Every structure is written in structure tokens, then in C-alpha cells.
Chain A
Amino acid sequence: MMETGSYGSTLRYKSVERIKPVGKHSLLGASGELSDFQELLRYLDELILYDNMWDDGNSMGPKEVHNYLTRVMYNRRNKFNPLWNTLVLGGVKNGQKYLGTVTMIGVHFEDNHVATGFGNHLARPILREEWHENLSFEDGVKILEKCMRVLLYRDRSAVNKLQVWLSIHTLHFVLLFQAIDNLRGDRLYGSKLDVTDYVFIILPLLRLDPTLSQIAKITEEGVTISQPYSLKTFWGFSAFQNPTVGAEGSW
């Protein structure tokens, strides 16, 4: 899982996982303060443990986890001690797909595609145009790659690495992309936080496609993570060829 834990605006740790599976049915991705995310994972670990210990055949689905996270985030905000994260929670349970988000002040909602930070401004318009109910896995990946590429081009502190998380349950799945980078949390200096990282989730419906059978077999039910890979980018624009031709001495 490639992702940076930032140290101020330095992209310091480049191998940090920012998406984690929660229970049997969900995936949680976070942007913002990493240590707060780790604390949330501890809370969730205890929640899932107690749920499992009932041993009654029931398990916490993405809707339940989303609600729990909302309560935690909102109550912390009310105590003026927030967990400084924007969370994205996706999953599939009993064939029902779910995708939701919670911000650090407790704002929460469900949608077909969500993003954090700059993703809201650069990627969601693309998703609004191109998302539709019956996306296949490959189409979903293509759309998200397109979004990621735009973000890479337009955000000065983007890093060109990403990884795909896939949660499959029977025929439905949730796709999570995690971009590497842009975890600018200025918590260390106490200045205003500028969160510009991207965690994308879309909810396509998996068609019964023979080319996808390999993926389906590997995962059956559960979560699968791809190997990290780089996006292809194109920098050969004429304006970039001789940048100083109009103004000598500039760079």
C-alpha cells in the first residue's frame, strides 16, 4: 500500500496504508492525521471483536460501521477535540453495496462516489459525468485512473503511485483507490490544515464477465488488494519544451 504519511508539507513516509479492511464487509479509507486514523482503527477493532464474540452468525456491515464512525467523530467535535480525518467507508453486505463518508466535524452522507480534499473539486465532476449504475470492474478502474491522472497533473504535491482495493461479495463490489501523497496535515505546527489527498470510492456493479473470473476466484468473498502501480502520464506538450524561450533567465 503506497501512501505518504506527511510531515508538514514534506511527503515523508511513502509506504503507509491508508485504507484498511474493517470486519468482513467493509473498507475504511482516511485522509488527514494518520495517528487519529490509527486510533480510529483501535476503536473499530474493539467494536468488531465484541461483535464477533457473540458468535451468532451476525456481523457488522458497512452501514453499521459508518454510523458508529459518525457518532465517534461528531461527539469528539462537540468536545472540541476532533479526530482530524475525513473518512470514506465502503463495503458490500448481503449483496447490498454501500458507500459513505464522514468528516472531522461529523458531517456524514452516502453517495455513489465520494472523494476527500481536492478530489471533491477535480475528480467528482468527472465521476458525475461518467459514473453509471452498471459499471464493470475495468471501466471503474479506468474512470478512477482518469481522475487520479487529473489530480496528479493539477496538484503540486501528488505522487505517481496508487493501489486498488477491491471488496467483492457475490456479484457486487466496491472499488477503492488510494492515491499516494498529499497528506498535508499541518497539525504539527498548529496552523490551518490543508487536506489535499484523494481517496476514491465508486460503486459499480460487477457483470458476470469471464475475463473477470480470475479476480472473482481469488477473492470470492472478501477484500483483495492489487500491487501498486504507476499511472502513465504525458508531459510532451510544446509549452514544456522550451519554457524559457519567451523570457530569458527565467526557469
Chain B
Amino acid sequence: MSSIGTGYDLSVTTFSPDGRVFQIEYAAKAVDNSGTVIGIKCKDGVVMGVEKLVASKMMLPGSNRRIHSVHRHSGMSVAGLAADGRQIVARAKSEATNYESVYGEAIPVKELAERVASYVHLCTLYWWLRPFGCGVILGGYDRDGPQLYMVEPSGVSYRYFGAAIGKGRQAAKTEIEKLKLSELTCRQGVIEVAKIIYGIHDEAKDKEFELELSWVCDESNRQHQKVPEELLEEAKAAAKAALEEMDAD
């Protein structure tokens, strides 16, 4: 359970007696309250999926994109405060284009992750700047192959085979661990991600949701893009069928 850091949680520049920075932990809570975001690294690429909780029936389907392309070869999916996320994406885009204009090649995903992480970390160092209330899953494909990174509000960034953030991350992680990622192609990965997201969506607590899927793989020519329509429909259908099977048990 979380502890209340009375007195030590007013500023991000204050440590508590047991060595924690509470403001950063509170920022992480903002991420935990948002819709689930999953990323998996398959053998020929990366697939990312978002459980986009729809606030109102008035919203146009396809709006409020949570997955953004950051350069030709990489994309970012955001969980947490949407406006903070937009700032991080903008910064990542600018880092990527700047790297390319200086070095003449596309930014390696590792380098991009480092730059995004240090930018997020920067905002945890000053009392006049609040930490970002969002976590980011960054997937890309460069000459070292497909890679998946996750950046947390604390500025920490690790490389993963599979990652999940948001409400249903515990359940999602369990499901991801069951998959044999090194044998999955992205086509299969897309179906699996859809199944996982549909599976962890809590009908009781949250209302409607929209599934957003993107990939970077050999099939997409190493470009980051939305999963093509027919594959998306196929994935949704498979996920719904899997759900019904589970309910029938």
C-alpha cells in the first residue's frame, strides 16, 4: 500500500527520510490510472496496442490518437496525462529530426530512448517544474533490429521484450509472459495483443474502449504505422471470439 508522505511530498526536490521522492511516485500513479498500453517485441518487429478508454459517445472514433510516429522507423504510445504525453512526443520528434540532420542517418532507437529518458528526468530535478504524468512505450526498428523501450515518469528507461503500463498492467504482463515472443511474427503478435487488451478490459469499471494498434516490422517496410485495416478487424474479431470462449467456460 502506498504511504502518505506528509511534509516530504510537497516538492519534487525533497527526499523523504527513507530515501523516496514522493512527487515522482505520485506522478507514476497518474500513469496507473490510465488505459492499458502494451508493447511486445516479436521476431520481425514491434507491436504496440492501447486500450483507449472512450470518455463520451460524442467522440469521433479514431480521434485522440495515443500512438504517435516519432520518425520513419519508430513510434511511441503514451499512457497517463495526454497533454504531458504530447509534449514528450514533440520532444522525441525534434530529437529524431535533429539527429538525422546532424549525423545523416536515422536515430538509433537506443539513442532516442536515452534522450527521451533524460528529458523526462530533467523535469524531476527542479522545484519549479513538475514531473511528467505519463509513461511512454517506445518501439522502433533500426539496424540492430526491432527494439522496445519503456520510459517512466521518474526518467528511468529500460529495454524490454514485452512491457505494459496503465490500469491493467499486472494482468497484461502475466499474459505477455505466456507468449513465446521469439517465435511470434508481427502478424501473429497483432492478434495476441488485441486478445490481451480485450481480455484485461474491465467491463464493470470502465465503459467503452477503442483499440489502437500499431507496428514496425519487415512487413511494414520498417516504417512505423497503424496496423492495416483488415488486419485490425481480424485482430478484433479474434479477440472477441477468444473472450466469448472464456465466458462460455
Which of A26-57 touch B at CB < 8 Å? 42, 46, 49, 52-53, 55
> In the bound complex, do residue A52 and residue B72 qualify as a contact, i.e. CB atoms below 8 Å apart?
yes
Provide the residues of chain A in CB contact with B93, threshold 8 Å. Answer: 53
Does B69 belong to the interface (CB within 8 Å)? yes
Provide the residues of chain A in CB contact with B66, threshold 8 Å. Answer: none
> In the bound complex, do residue A55 and residue B97 qualify as a contact, i.e. CB atoms below 8 Å apart?
no
Does B167 belong to the interface (CB within 8 Å)? no
> In the bound complex, do residue B69 and residue A55 qualify as a contact, i.e. CB atoms below 8 Å apart?
yes
Does B154 belong to the interface (CB within 8 Å)? no
Interface residues on A, range: under 10
Q: How far does the alpha carbon of A49 sit from the alpha carbon of B99 in the complex, in Å?
A: 14
How many chain B residues touch the partner (CB < 8 A)?
12
Provide the residues of chain A in CB contact with B69, threshold 8 Å. Answer: 52-53, 55
Q: How far does the alpha carbon of A42 sit from the alpha carbon of B98 in the complex, in Å?
A: 12
Given A42-B101, A49-B97: A55 in contact with B71 (beta carbons within 8 A): no
Which of B43-102 touch A at CB < 8 Å? 65, 68-72, 93, 97, 101
> In the bound complex, do residue B68 and residue A53 qualify as a contact, i.e. CB atoms below 8 Å apart?
yes
Q: Looking at the complex, which one of A42, A46, A49, A55 makes contact with B226 (CB distance below 8 Å)?
A: A55
Does B147 belong to the interface (CB within 8 Å)? no
> In the bound complex, do residue A49 and residue B72 qualify as a contact, i.e. CB atoms below 8 Å apart?
yes
> In the bound complex, do residue B101 and residue A49 qualify as a contact, i.e. CB atoms below 8 Å apart?
no
> In the bound complex, do residue B72 and residue A55 qualify as a contact, i.e. CB atoms below 8 Å apart?
no
Does B157 belong to the interface (CB within 8 Å)? no
For the residues of A in contact with B, the DSSP-based class is helix
Does B225 belong to the interface (CB within 8 Å)? yes
Provide the residues of chain A in CB contact with B71, threshold 8 Å. Answer: 49, 53
Provide the residues of chain B in CB contact with A55, threshold 8 Å. Answer: 65, 69, 225-226
Provide the residues of chain A in CB contact with B70, threshold 8 Å. Answer: 53
Q: How far does the alpha carbon of A42 sit from the alpha carbon of B97 in the complex, in Å?
A: 11
- Give B73 Cβ to nearest chain A Cβ, in Å: 11
Provide the residues of chain B in CB contact with A49, threshold 8 Å. Answer: 71-72, 97
Provide the residues of chain B in CB contact with A46, threshold 8 Å. Answer: 97
Closest to A57 in B: B226
Mark interface residues in A172-183 (1 if CB within 8 Å of B CB, else 0): 000000000000
Which of B225-240 touch A at CB < 8 Å? 225-226
- Give A47 Cβ to nearest chain B Cβ, in Å: 11
Q: How far does the alpha carbon of A239 sit from the alpha carbon of B71 in the complex, in Å?
A: 62
Closest to B97 in A: A46
Mark interface residues in B127-159 (1 if CB within 8 Å of A CB, else 0): 000000000000000000000000000000000
Q: How far does the alpha carbon of A46 sit from the alpha carbon of B68 in the complex, in Å?
A: 17
Provide the residues of chain A in CB contact with B225, threshold 8 Å. Answer: 55
- Give B20 Cβ to nearest chain A Cβ, in Å: 38
- Give B49 Cβ to nearest chain A Cβ, in Å: 15
Q: How far does the alpha carbon of A74 sit from the alpha carbon of B65 in the complex, in Å?
A: 36
Q: Other CB < 8 Å A-B pairs besides A52-B223, A53-B93, 15 of them? A: A42-B101, A46-B97, A49-B71, A49-B72, A49-B97, A52-B69, A52-B72, A53-B68, A53-B69, A53-B70, A53-B71, A55-B65, A55-B69, A55-B225, A55-B226
Q: List 17 A-B contacts (CB under 8 A).
A: A42-B101, A46-B97, A49-B71, A49-B72, A49-B97, A52-B69, A52-B72, A52-B223, A53-B68, A53-B69, A53-B70, A53-B71, A53-B93, A55-B65, A55-B69, A55-B225, A55-B226
Closest 4 CB pairs of A and B: A53-B69, A55-B69, A55-B226, A55-B225
